[in-house]
Chains A and B, each alone.
Chain A
Amino acid sequence: MRIVYRYLPTLSLIAMAACLPLVLNPRGNALRVAATALLFAAVAQAWNIVGGLASQISLGHAAFFGIGAYTSTILYLQYSLSPWVGMVAGALLAILAAGLLSVPTFSLKGHYFALATLAFAEVMRVIANSWVSLTGGPVGLTIPFGGSNPLLFQFRSTAAYYWVILTVLVAICSVFYFMSRGKMGYRLRAIRENEDAAEVSGIDTFRVKLWSAMISAGLTACCGTVFAQFTFFFDPDSIFHMSGISIRMAMIAIIGGIGTLSGPVIGALFLIPLEEISTAFLSSSAAGVAQLVFGLILIVAILIQPQGIVATWPGLMQRIHFRRSH
């Protein structure tokens, strides 16, 4: 009973979110924006596992996102394999890639690691662009529509995509939650506070970081598959995009609150609708203004509240209590 009570707020929030398509027009724009926000919350949470928990700042997670999108789409187009199966295949491939990438990069710290991951995403982009027989090259891949078919990950209404994305988000958040607790969480925290000290006290830091990197990459690839199915089209430039994908997922986690469970969700619910509204209202008059605003938000967030939106709340509450007590 106590467990139920403990998780009650979270569960009721998930239930509320699941009911959203019943309130909104199931084929309308608002629902699509909501689905996009949840998708980016999911991918930011996946990034958060390696960026927040293991404190390894990756600027190249688009590599895994793209691996997920390409694997499932190529398997579907060339071998008529359902994207659901392709999603698992993509995740496995991304885990493998993350494992291989870890060998040379995980001794790198901070800025060096960020640089190496950035280059890795670029390598993936060049390969996708040049290996035309496999990836279709620079033209990109489109996902043909053959009517609603849940087994083939094809739906007519946005609501179905929304529910799939919500499920993915809940799953990734659960992974994050369980990784941040227990032995694994303890080890990750130790590494985050002081890696050398953690190593000395008997934690196999390489193994712990490797695990989080592989789990993060696999989950990011799952999101990539969902993204491809949801937008029907992608090309090497857009799926491996540095600012559009890699930086964006990190930015969401950071603005929401890096290393926290709710941070990426809050960050995405704040940034994605803001982005949507500003591009809808500004794009015909002043191109670039919307992006400019995002850059400013990122800078201000880091200078004023590096812990993200999540952290402003307790502070605000405290201040209110403080005033009251006087």
Chain B
Amino acid sequence: MSFIQSLIDGILIGGVYGIIATGLSLVFGVLGLVNFAHAEFLMVGMYVAWFAWHYLGLDPILAAPLSFAVVFLLGYAVQRHLLDRVMKASPTAQIFLTVGLLIVLENAALVIFGSGFRSVNVPYQVESFRLAGLFVSAPYLYAFGATLVVNLALWLFLERSWIGRGIRAVAQDPMAAILSGVDSKRTYRIAFGLGVGLTAFGGGVILPYITVSPTVGGQFVVLMFTVVVLGGLGSILGALAGGLAVGIIQSFSALFFPISLQNLVLFIIFIGVLAFRPQGLLKGA
């Protein structure tokens, strides 16, 4: 019984990890850089959704598209004014530019919003659906549902729209894409905006069960990287599968190990996969 319960919880939280990590994976796939500041955009997304809930009375899950839009613009601007300049620079410059961004975003949030924890208050926060002695948490289920919708939208966008095709072309072969007329700079900006926007969307949907504070990004940063590495850096489907895998691993490891070692299990998988299968566990060989 507790196995099935763990499986359900794992799949539901894993789906959300998936959407949060998809953005990171997209950025790596298209721009070829690891965005160490990525989790901070999750935090910004959570604040946007919180303010929408507080002042407009919008449900955080419905406010998530707003988080996406705001952070998309922020990401577009960051790429346009900062990251564009290091696209051809050494990995050192790229890594530390995003590290600098991490420090700036976290502390800017502290200065602007203060250090307090903010939580939303919605009725389904404490509800669940009962199925034969099992509990399906309502906020987890709704968050999972929202991520499915966004995944579908993302897939349609990448498959059907011209911009989406441009993004995929640049990810596959930047030179060839440029030669066939894709504006690579514009594509980079849209891809980065999209990447951080998707993660911010994830921030909106988790708000019913996670409180937001300036340091909330730190709680997700390692999780996010583990998901992406497991699924293969740059792979979007991989990130989704990686999210589910991490959710299930986390949930199951609680059955066998002390919960305080939960992260240790993740880190060891993380290093192991990175070392022995850097293309990702879940990507076809």
Contacts and interface: CB of A to CB of B under 8 A. Distances in A.
Interface of A: 51, 55, 57, 59, 103-105, 107-112, 114-116, 118-120, 122-123, 126-127, 129-130, 243, 247, 250-251, 254, 258, 286-289, 291-292, 294-296, 298-299, 302-303, 306
A303 B94 CA distance: 10
B46 interface: no
**Residue from B36, B90, B99 whose CB has the most chain A CB atoms within 10 Å:** B99
A295 B264 contact: no
A302 B97 contact: yes
Given A116-B271, A298-B103, A303-B86, A289 B111 contact: yes
B92 to A, nearest CB: 6
A299 B100 CA distance: 5
A126 B264 contact: yes
B261 interface: yes
B102 A295 contact: yes
Given A114-B34, A123-B268, A299 B89 contact: no
B202 to A, nearest CB: 20
Contacts of B93: 302, 306
Contact of B111 (A129, A288, A306): A288
B101 interface: yes
28 contacts: A59-B99, A107-B275, A108-B275, A112-B278, A115-B274, A116-B274, A119-B270, A120-B271, A123-B264, A130-B258, A130-B260, A130-B264, A243-B102, A247-B99, A258-B92, A286-B111, A288-B214, A289-B111, A291-B110, A292-B103, A294-B103, A295-B100, A299-B97, A299-B104, A302-B93, A302-B97, A303-B82, A306-B90
B86 A302 contact: yes
B261 A130 contact: yes
Interface string B254-272: 0000101101100110111
Contacts, number: 138
B222 A119 contact: yes
A251 B96 contact: yes
Dominant secondary structure at the B interface? helix
Interface in B107-121: 107-108, 110-111, 115
A111 B33 contact: yes
Shortest 3 CB-CB contacts between residues of A and residues of B: A104-B275, A295-B103, A110-B91
Contacts of B100: 295-296, 298-299, 302
A115 B229 contact: yes
A207 to B, nearest CB: 18
Contacts of A119: 222, 225-226, 267, 270-271, 274
Contacts of B270: 115-116, 119
Given A104-B271, A287-B115, A306 B89 contact: yes
**Residue from A108, A119, A247 whose CB has the most chain B CB atoms within 10 Å:** A119
A317 to B, nearest CB: 24
A294 B115 CA distance: 19
Given A129-B260, A298-B97, 14 more contacts: A59-B95, A108-B278, A114-B91, A116-B270, A123-B268, A130-B264, A250-B96, A287-B115, A288-B110, A296-B104, A299-B82, A299-B100, A302-B96, A302-B100
B85 interface: yes
Given A57-B92, A306-B93, A299 B101 contact: yes
Contacts of B108: 288, 292
Nearest to B225: A115
Interface of B: 28, 33-34, 36, 82, 85-86, 89-97, 99-104, 106-108, 110-111, 115, 214, 222, 225-226, 229, 233, 258, 260-261, 263-264, 267-268, 270-272, 274-276, 278
Contacts of A59: 36, 95, 99
Contacts of B278: 108, 112
B98 to A, nearest CB: 10
Contacts of B226: 119
A112 B274 contact: yes
**Residue from A258, A291, A295, A298 whose CB has the most chain B CB atoms within 10 Å:** A295
A111 B95 contact: yes
Nearest to B110: A288
A283 to B, nearest CB: 12
A254 B222 contact: no
A122 to B, nearest CB: 5
Contact of B96 (A108, A112, A254): A254
Contacts of A296: 100, 104
A30 B240 CA distance: 53
A112 B33 CA distance: 10
A110 B258 CA distance: 34
